[in-house]
Structure 1
C-alpha cells in the first residue's frame, strides 16, 4: 500500500471512532433509562415510608435516584440534593443497623 492509501485509511478510522464516541450511549440500549423522570424536594415524613430505595448512578442512569414507596403504595422520587433527605437518611441507616444487630 502506498503512503497516501495508509493516510486515507487512518483518517477514515479516526472519523469513524470520533462519530461513534459522539453519540450518547443511552440511545443504543433499550432499558437504559432513569427510573425517576421528575423529582421533588417536598418533605415526606419518615412514618409514611414503606420502602426506600437508593439507586446509585451507573450505566442505567447518570444520576443518583432516591425512590420512596409510601404506605399507601404511592411512589415518589426525591431529589438527592434535598436537605431534608440528607438529614433523614443517616438516621434511617442508623436505626436499620440497630434492628439488624438485634436479629
Structure 2
C-alpha cells in the first residue's frame, strides 16, 4: 500500500468507528456517548406507553441545549425535542406522578 493512502485509510476507519459508536438509533434519533451534546437528532412525537424511563439533562458545559432522552421498553434510546408540546406534556405528567407518589 502506498504511504500516501495510509492516512486516508486511517481516517476512513476512524470515521467508521465513530459512526458505529454513535448509532444507537430509534425512529431517527441519534444518541452519542461523548461529553458533548448527546442528541444529534430529535423526534417531537412518541407514544407515552412505550417509555420506560426519561432523562432530562439541563444545559451545561457539555451542551448548551436541554436534552431529553427517553429509554423505551425495548431498550432503545430516543432523543426527544424538549420544545415539542407532546414532550412537554409527557414531562409534566411524569413530574405530576412523582409529586403524588
| TM-score bracket for the superposition, by shorter chain length | 0.5 to 0.7
| Structure with more of its chain in helix, by fraction | 1
Of Structure 1 and Structure 2, which has the larger fraction of its residues in strand? 2
> What is the match of residue 22 of structure 2?
none
User: What is residue 84 of structure 2 aligned with on the other side?
Assistant: 82
Greater RCO (Cα-Cα under 8 Å, separation 6 or more): 2
Count residues with an aligned counterpart: 68
Q: CA RMSD in A?
A: 1.2
Distance in 2 between residues matched to 1:61 and 1:95, nearest whole Å: 28
Match of 2:52 in 1: 50
Instruction: Give the unaligned 5+ runs of structure 2.
Output: 1-33
Tell me the equivalent position of 1:35: 38
- Equivalents in 2 of 1:36, 1:72: separation in Å? 19
- TM-score under structure 1 length normalisation: 0.61
Instruction: Please say which structure displays the higher CA radius of gyration.
Output: 1
Runs of 4+ in 1 over 4 A off after TM superposition: none
Structure 1 residues without counterparts, runs of 5 or longer? 1-30
**Deviation for aligned residue 1:91:** 1.4
